[in-house]
Amino acid sequence: MAELTGTGTPGAEPVGATPPRTVPADGASGHPVPGTGGTSRRPVSGAGGRSPGAGGRPRVRWWRRPWVGPLAVVALAFLAFSLPPYLSLDPSLSRVPLEGGFAAYYPMLVAHVVFGAIAMVTCGLQIWPWLRRRHPVAHRRIGRVYVLGGVLPAGVLGLVVGAAGPFGPMTQVSSVILAALWLACTVAGFRAARRRRFADHRRWMIRSFALTFSIITNRVWGAIAMIVLMPQAETVFGGSDIALIQTVSGLAAWLGWTTSLLLAEWWLERGGAAGRRRAPVPARG
């Protein structure tokens, strides 16, 4: 059985901690990632997209994780579309209506968008298997930026802009719950890494990832809801633009993160007890 220095999957290393010395490459170190085909307890072979890479490491072929490229493209497209109006610092370009908001609402929204972008970019890097495997130190550093310079500030600001949002109570409640869950899952993942509980770290960070990227599924649901409900503007919504917008926004807000989180739970549980089997016991000392 091949041996790896550090963890079989570098992403499993604790934030700010000395990596374990030697662990088996059979996955006992845990922390397989989305798209890697699950636990590396499976035999390492060229079949099914796995083959021994340099130094005997299991190298996962690109077709086993076809989500990496599309995810990066979608995230960059979202940021390229979403960021510029807020980076201009011109309130008249805000896509969120500002009328009726308190004075600090706009600066807080801009800060939320900037920290949210940091969270999205760093999260995308963190789940990239190649980076975790080949650059474990970068994984730990980027992880700290994700938590401390992305999710924490963006989530706390999300709580405030969410509670004060202009799209009605359905969206406000959803945003506050999402922000709280985002903070909770991310902090739980961070703490688990520091305590070297890598299976827990993996599970919480996959949930955190799902919530970070739920801002994108939110927009997809919003577009679908608008297409479906627009023709009913005069009937179901009695010609009220406010009723239509609040319904579309509320549906997008709730469906955005609930479906993403359900998908993450399915991913974690797929194959029965696969996730539980991965509980890692990193070598110490």
112 binds ligand HEM (CB under 6 A): yes
| Closer CB to ligand HEM, 146 or 198, in the complex | 146
Q: How far apart are the first and last CA of the chain?
A: 20
Query: Which of 106, 128, 182, 204 touches ligand HEM (CB under 6 A)?
Result: 182
Tokens (6 digits) for 197 = 């509980």
Q: How far is the CB of 113 from ligand HEM (least distance, A)?
A: 4
Where in 186-245 is the site for ligand HEM (CB under 6 A)? 211-212, 215
Helix (H, G, I), strand (E, B) or coil at 179: helix
Half-sphere exposure of 231 (CA within 13 A, CB side): 3
Task: Report in angstroms how near the CB of residue 112 gets to ligand HEM at its nearest.
Answer: 6
Q: How far apart are CA 253 and CA 272, in angstroms?
A: 30
58-60 and 50-52 strand pairing: antiparallel
Q: Is the CB of 12 or the CB of 161 nearer to ligand HEM?
A: 161
Query: Which residues lie below 8 Å from residue 9, measured CB to CB, with a gap of 6+?
Result: 29, 30, 31, 32, 33, 36, 40, 129, 132, 133
Task: Give the interface size with ligand HEM as a residue count (CB under 6 A).
Answer: 23
Residues contacting 192, CB < 8 A, separation 6+? 198, 200, 201, 204
Segment interacting with ligand HEM (CB under 6 A) among 7-15, 41-49, 161-169, 187-195: 161-169
Interface with ligand HEM, residue 158, by CB under 6 A: yes
Query: In the complex, what is the shortest distance from the CB of residue 143 to ligand HEM, in angstroms, rounded to a whole number?
Result: 16
Residue at token pair 């490459």 = 25
**Judged by CB, which is closer to ligand HEM: 68, or 176?**
176
Interaction between residue 171 and ligand HEM (CB under 6 A): yes
120 lies in the site for ligand HEM, by CB under 6 A: yes
Instruction: Specify the 3-state DSSP secondary structure of 60.
Output: strand
Minimum distance of ligand HEM from residue 244's CB (angstroms): 15
Please answer whether residues 237 and 231 qualify as being in contact, where contact means their C-beta atoms are separated by less than 8 angstroms.
Answer: no
Nearer of residues 243 and 274 to ligand HEM, judged by Cβ:
243
- Burial label for 99, CB within 10 Å (0-12, 13-18, 19+), is exposed
Q: Which is nearer to ligand HEM, 86 or 128 (CB)?
A: 86
DSSP codes joined into one string, 238-257 = TT-HHHHHHHHHHHHHHHHH
Nearest to 165 by CA among 252, 231, 227, 223: 252
125 is a contact residue toward ligand HEM (CB under 6 A): no
Instruction: Single out the segment in contact with ligand HEM by CB under 6 A; choices: 126-134, 175-183, 186-194, 196-204.
Output: 175-183
Taking CB under 6 A as the rule, does residue 161 contact ligand HEM?
A: yes
Judged by CB under 6 A, the chain residues 49 through 88 that form the site for ligand HEM are: 82
- Interaction site with ligand HEM (CB under 6 A): 82, 95-96, 112-113, 116-117, 119-120, 154, 158, 161-162, 165, 167, 171, 175, 178-179, 182, 211-212, 215
